[in-house]
């Protein structure tokens, strides 16, 4: 399987890992406060809560000093969270576009679930943030003492230009054509995947997923890395319902002696996704894959490390929504220091905040749990079939 085309660059990138909202929002606010020219921010959820208000005010302050500020939020993801934030941003001089606003007559359309799920901010063409963290307080929808577990990266260097190009293209199409609720067919993202070396001649690259020219780019990067893995694959994912090819890649790697560790959502956030995920547990456990349920708070991460060198941080889950329907964005890094830092974070979460799923216990679970698992999986598969994605 070949990767997407990559164009080389001679300049190093600085890629830094940001863990959870505490690190991410601090770095984001600092960068926005230093902006002098232009800001592009894309998010699936923009919440009218404590952190959302803080980010909104920082963006408004930037607009007041002459910075061109563009915000794109998803109409479905933000519908129950945005509150009066939309008007507040617009009144403060921020330019706002809504990706596919929710409208009653569209609720039954097959294209309704083609959402803008990526989380990207680019500032002055010099720094970019990419990851899985929405503009929402870490403690919103979670235990008061336990923030959601999630990651993002900040980047400086030539890769920022590619990320800025992706955000600028989406903004111009939404703004110029007034197609914030249009089909993705009218909004292709023809940005190529580009590699640029980071420090010490290591490389990082950026990949998007859309419904036209980059339908499988992110999944393909995962499959290549897993297929080439020699010692270990660590993967943390909030919503994990992999298709046949992804499951086969993990099983094949385990069969050739690669240690596979999955850190998955232990708390029930959405019952359908929660129990549908568990439909694949038995097959993977039987193949020797380790599964750990994260229980301290809600797991929202979408990250992986392979052989302590290859790593990815982004917005894409390993489920049909992310891999078949939504606009997503991931950064991939080939760097032992970066991969080791992410691996340490995941190992600490496995050791302190998770519960291992033991094959014997899994086989002895209650008939009620088994029933819910297969009903949820069946419903999920049926929904995909209705939408024309039944062979995934």
CA distance 283 to 99: 38
Query: Do 207 and 6 meet the contact criterion of CB atoms below 8 Å apart?
Result: no
| 387 pLDDT above the threshold of 80 | no
Chain region(s) in the chain for CATH 3.30.870.10: 14-186, 207-386
Kindly tell me if the per-residue pLDDT of 3 is higher than 90.
Answer: no
State yes or no: is 214 an active-site residue.
no
CATH (residue range 207-386):
3.30.870.10
The reported pLDDT for the residue numbered 6 is 39
On the question of pLDDT at 191 being above 60, the answer is: no
- Among the listed residues 37, 95, 45, 70, the one whose alpha carbon sits nearest the alpha carbon of residue 169: 70
Q: Measured between alpha carbons, how far is 44 from 61 in angstroms, rounded to an integer?
A: 22
Catalytic one among 14, 124, 181, 252? 124
Q: Which of 40, 70, 86, 119 is catalytic?
A: 119
Q: Mean pLDDT: which of 68-72, 141-145, 173-177 is highest? A: 68-72
Among 40, 274, 300, 343, the active-site one is: 300
Quick: pLDDT tens for 308-340. 999 999 999 999 889 988 999 999 999 999 999
CATH architecture of the domain with residue range 14-186: 2-Layer Sandwich (3.30)
Residue-level pLDDT at 362: 73
Q: Catalytic site residue 175?
A: no
Supply 269's token pair: 């956030």
pLDDT score of 321: 86
Q: Which two tokens stand for residue 298?
A: 């809600």
- Higher pLDDT: 15 or 277? It is 15
Q: What is the pLDDT of residue 320?
A: 85
pLDDT reported for residue 186: 44
Tokens representing 215?
């339908």
Residues 6+ positions from 95 with CB-CB distance below 8 Å: 68, 69, 70, 71, 175
pLDDT tens digit sequence for 31-89: 999 999 999 999 999 999 999 999 999 999 999 999 999 999 999 999 989 999 999 99
pLDDT of residue 361: 78
Tokens standing for residue 92: 């403060």
Q: How much is the pTM?
A: 0.88
Q: How far apart are CA 348 and CA 250, in angstroms?
A: 22
Of 74-88, 270-284, 360-374, minimum mean pLDDT range? 360-374
List, for residues 370-384, the tens digit of each pLDDT value.
666 766 666 666 555
pLDDT for residue 375: 66
Q: Examine the residue annotation and report whether 230 is marked as an active-site residue of this protein.
A: no
Tell me the pLDDT of the chain averaged across its residues.
85
Helix then strand count (H, E) for the chain reads 12, 16
pLDDT one-digit tens code per residue, 244-256: 999 999 999 999 9
Q: Is 234 helix (H, G, I), strand (E, B) or coil?
A: strand
């Amino acid at each position: 399987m070949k990767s997407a085309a990559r164009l080389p660059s001679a300049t190093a990138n600085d890629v830094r890992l940001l863990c959870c909202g505490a690190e991410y929002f601090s770095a984001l606010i600092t960068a926005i406060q230093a902006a002098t020219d232009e800001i592009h921010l894309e998010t699936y959820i923009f919440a009218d809560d404590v952190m959302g208000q803080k980010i909104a005010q920082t963006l408004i302050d930037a607009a007041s000093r002459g910075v061109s500020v563009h915000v794109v939020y998803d109409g479905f993801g933000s519908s129950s969270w945005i509150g009066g934030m939309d008007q507040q941003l617009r009144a403060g001089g921020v330019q706002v576009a809504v990706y596919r606003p929710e409208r009653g007559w569209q609720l039954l359309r097959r294209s309704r679930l083609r959402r803008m799920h990526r989380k990207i901010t680019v500032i002055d063409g010099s720094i970019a943030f990419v990851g899985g963290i929405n503009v929402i307080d870490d403690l919103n929808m979670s235990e008061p003492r336990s923030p959601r577990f999630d990651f993002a990266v900040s980047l400086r260097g030539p890769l920022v230009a590619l990320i800025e190009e992706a955000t600028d293209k989406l903004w111009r199409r939404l703004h110029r054509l007034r197609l914030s609720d249009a089909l993705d067919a009218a909004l292709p993202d023809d940005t190529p995947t580009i590699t640029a070396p980071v420090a010490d001649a290591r490389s990082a690259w950026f990949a998007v997923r859309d419904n036209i020219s980059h339908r499988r780019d992110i999944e393909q990067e995962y499959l290549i890395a897993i297929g080439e893995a020699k010692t270990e694959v660590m993967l943390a994912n909030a919503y994990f319902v992999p298709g046949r090819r992804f499951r086969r890649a993990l099983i094949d790697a385990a069969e050739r002696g690669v240690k596979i560790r999955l850190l998955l959502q232990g708390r029930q956030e959405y019952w359908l996704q929660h129990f549908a995920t568990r439909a694949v547990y038995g097959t993977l456990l039987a193949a020797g894959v380790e599964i750990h349920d994260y229980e301290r708070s809600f797991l929202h991460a979408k990250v992986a490390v392979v052989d302590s060198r290859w790593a990815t941080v982004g917005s894409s889950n390993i489920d049909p929504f992310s891999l078949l329907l939504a606009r997503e964005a991931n950064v991939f890094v080939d760097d032992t220091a970066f991969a080791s830092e992410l691996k340490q974070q995941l190992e600490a979460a496995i050791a302190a905040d998770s519960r291992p799923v033991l094959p014997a216990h899994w086989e002895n679970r209650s008939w009620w749990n088994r029933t819910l698992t297969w009903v949820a999986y069946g419903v999920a598969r049926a929904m995909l079939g209705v939408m024309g994605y039944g062979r995934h």
